[in-house]
Amino acid sequence: MFSVGDKIVYPMHGAGVIDSIEEKDILGEKQSYYILKMPGEVKVMIPTAKAETVGVRNIIDKSSADKVIGILEKDETEMDKNWNKRYRDNMDKMKSGDIYEVADVVRNLSFKQKEKGLSTGEKKMLNNAKQILVSELVLAEHASQEEVEQLVDNKINTSFMMFRAEEIQPESVVNKFIPFDGTGTND
C-alpha cells in the first residue's frame, strides 16, 4: 500500500508522486484511486486495489540509479534483426516495469538510431522509453528533467563512440590515395 507523497512508477507511463488518494464513482462502482502527478502536470488515476497487479512500485534509490546509468555506458545487447520480433521484445522489456530493462531499450534503440535510423514505431518506442527512464531518474537523483536528459544523452553518446564509432568511420583519405608507380608523364 502506498501513501500520499510516495514516489512511484507506473509501468509504461513513468514515475510520479502520489498527489492524493480519492474515492471515485465510475460507472456505478465506487473505488479508491491513487492520483499520480506525473511530469508535465499530467495526472493519472490508478485503482488502489489493482496497483500491485499492474506493476506499480516504489522508485529506485540512488544506488540503483547509478547502476541504471551504468547500463547506458555499456555496449548494446544483441537484438533480433527482424523488426517485428525486436519490437515485441523491447515492448515486453518496457511492460515489465524493470528500470534496468527500460535503460537497455533506450541504449539499444539509441545505438540503432545512430547507426541506421529507426522506423516510426521504434522512434515512438525510444521516445516513450526515454521519458519513462528520465522521469524515474529525475525523482531518484533529485535533479531537473533537463539535467537528467543531458546526462542520459551524454552517456549514450560516449558509449556509442567507444563501442561503435570505429565501425562506421568513413574510409580515410590515405586508403584512397593512388600510389605513385614511377610512370609519370613529366617529359
Residue range 39-93, pLDDT digits in tens: 878 899 999 999 999 999 999 999 999 999 999 999 999 999 888 999 999 999 9
Residues 45 and 87 in one domain: no
Rounded distance between C-alpha atoms, residue 97 and residue 150, angstroms: 23
- Percentage, residues of the chain above pLDDT 70: 88
> Grid coordinates standing for 158?
560516449
User: How many beta carbons lie within 10 A of that of residue 147, not counting itself?
Assistant: 14
Higher pLDDT, residue 186 or 76? 76
Name the residue range of residue 73's domain: 62-167
Average confidence (pLDDT) over 140-145: 93
Residues 38 and 107 in one domain: no
Question: Does residue 175 fall inside a structural domain?
Answer: no
| Cβ burial, residue 62 (10 Å; 0-12/13-18/19+) | exposed
Residues 104 and 119 in one domain: yes
Q: What is the pLDDT of residue 164?
A: 81
Residues 152 and 74 in one domain: yes
